[in-house]
Structure 1
Amino acid sequence: MFRTLWLLIGLTSLALGIVGVVLPLLPTTPFVLLAAYCFARSSPRLHDWLLAHRMFGPLIRNWNAHRAIAPRAKLLAVVSMVAVFAGAWAFGASDRVLIIQAVILPATALFILTRPSGPRA
């Protein structure tokens, strides 16, 4: 049961990561890292495929080896967060939503920005 749940979360995360490659507002790196984590617990075949992938493999190996996020990925993640908050504000999101975002997004950005850059992907 848990293996199936990990697999579903991994596939969903990978799908979001792939969409994030073409949509600038959706960060790729966190979703690919989550997919790798989930696949490690559910499907060794998918985990190995993801590690060997030309585009996603270096992101995961950089994180595993150095707990590092490439500078470009950091920049895109933070810009995406700012854009999401600006969009929510511009479209008139409720004060509650804006407050939640104003707390969570900077905390997440701080975490991302304080990770080492490590070797480039």
Structure 2
Amino acid sequence: MIKILQNHLLIIFGWFFIGLGLIGVILPILPTTPFLLIALALFSKSSPRFHKMLLNNAWFGPTLKQWEAKKALPRRIKYKIYFIIIISFSISIAIFADKVLLQLLLVGIAVVLLFFIWRIKEAPLMAQSLDDE
């Protein structure tokens, strides 16, 4: 009974993170890739069908497959994540202009996030197809 409940909760949270990731496609301040990576991890423990669905998705499937196989992200994805972190934290810091302690906390969190993203291996560049030449 507990295992079934756990599976259902993991699936619900997986879909929740897919929803956040899809919102992130529309809103530039919300990152898509981390949410989809979380959903992929949740589905890998709860639903082989949904896990496979994510990996076979035409838009973000290749990035997720690469993450699952090599624990690496393409450089362009890492640059997008850097950009989103810097912009969103800069906006937050500007909003709290009169609260220096909170600003310092936000700077610290941003630095930690940037450091963790920086430590993720970069996927090798894919070979260009003949159509790109």
> Within 1, Cα distance between the matches of 2:53 and 2:15?
13
Equivalent residue in structure 1 for 2:69, among 49, 54, 65: 65
Structure showing greater Rg? 2
Q: CA RMSD in A?
A: 1.8
* 4+ runs deviating over 6 angstroms: none
**Percent same amino acid among aligned pairs?**
32
Amino acid at match of 2:103: L
Residues 1:89 and 2:96 are matched in the alignment: no
TM-score by length of 1: 0.88
Contact 1:69 1:112 in 2 (8 A): no
SS of the equivalent of 1:54 reads coil
Equivalent residue in structure 1 for 2:18, among 10, 14, 17: 14
Residues 1:41 and 2:35 are matched in the alignment: no
The unaligned stretches of length 5 or more in structure 2 are 127-133
> Within 2, Cα distance between the matches of 1:12 and 1:99?
31
Deviation at 1:46, TM superposition (A): 0.8
> Within 2, Cα distance between the matches of 1:86 and 1:28?
19
> Within 1, Cα distance between the matches of 2:121 and 2:115?
12
The unaligned stretches of length 5 or more in structure 1 are none
Q: Which has the higher contact order (CA 8 A, sep 6+)?
A: 1
TM-score by length of 2: 0.81
Aligned to 2:105: 100
